[in-house]
Amino acid sequence: MRELRKDVAEIKAAIHSKAYSHVAAAPPPTAVSAKTTKPTPRELESARRGAEPRIVLKTQHLPEQHPARAEVPSQLLQRIAPHLSAQLQTQALSVGRLHSGDLKISVASKAEENRVLDEANEEWLRLAFDPEEVSPEVRRPLFPEHKTIAVHGVPFYLGNDGIKADVERVHGIIITSARFFLGQHRRESLQKSNKRQFGSAAVAFKTQEDRDRFLKSGKISCGISRCTVEPYLSRTHPAMREMPTAWSRRALLQKTA
């Protein structure tokens, strides 16, 4: 009886081994992780070339019969192009309408886009439409790429307002906006669990010259830290979709310490 039991056990073992031999031979599954390395200069340049220079005009505050909302893109281009060229030396290549209803003006270069964003006088818009009526407005981002850097190693205890105040105090410059990539609740959770006390933030300067100066040095003082800096790319930039953890977005996607 003992020998019979032994034979049965050996048969079961052989069957089990054969049935699952393909599992043992197969390589272990590997997780597909997002790219975490810093992009190469070639990738940076390629991504920048892929970004479409454009100006967005806010129109949702206008009545439906306003030309900015009622006219077709070809008519709007004829309205806008001459005045944009005369007032700001910027060439409007085309006009399109976004899903929101706002207008998108494609221009020839990022330099021209930045020129329009930096110009507070919107006389060209008033001339393009009725000067006596309400006009569309240029949508200016809080963190324009040409004036913003991504800062890494910023102490959480500062908070968004503290970043602005501290950088202005230490460096004697004007900061227009500053914000951690991680939200307040997430930062507080990491601090309480002692998993992390530092993070990354976007810092926007009043002038492009200040931004370029810190990019060149690669460092900026913030709180108790001497932080590293990199170019900032907005979430709408193609590079942010193609390289999801590059530059500032790697901080946006941080979920664990």
pLDDT, tens digit, for every residue of 227-245? 999 999 876 554 444 333 4
Strands 54-58 and 137-138 come out as: antiparallel
- The predicted-structure confidence for 172-205, as pLDDT tens digits, reads as follows 999 999 999 999 999 999 999 988 999 999 999 9
Which pLDDT value is given to residue 244?
Answer: 38
- Ranges of each domain in the chain: 52-138, 143-252
Residue 12 reports pLDDT greater than 70: no
Q: HSE (CB half, 13 Å, CA atoms) of 222?
A: 31
Above 80 in pLDDT, residue 37? no
**DSSP per position, 139-168:** ---SS-GGGEEEEEEEEGGGHHHHHHHHHH
Give Cβ neighbours of residue 253 (< 8 Å, ≥ 6 apart): 34, 244, 245
Q: Which residues make Cβ contacts (< 8 Å) with residue 61, sequence separation at least 6?
A: 134, 137
pLDDT value, residue 220: 96
Q: Running DSSP on this structure, what letter comes out for residue 24? A: H
Confidence band of 111 (pLDDT split at 50, 70, 90)? very high
Residue-level pLDDT at 169: 95
Average pLDDT, the chain: 81
pTM for this entry = 0.68
Residue 79: pLDDT over 90: yes
Give the pLDDT mean for 69-76: 96
As a whole number, mean pLDDT of residues 136-145 equals 94
pLDDT digits (tens, 9 = 90+) for 207-229: 999 999 999 999 999 989 999 99
Q: For the structural domain made of 143-252, what CATH number should be given?
A: 3.30.70.330
- Give bridge partners of residue 225 from the DSSP assignment: 222
- Mean pLDDT across the stretch 80-90? 96
Span 84-109, mean pLDDT? Answer: 96
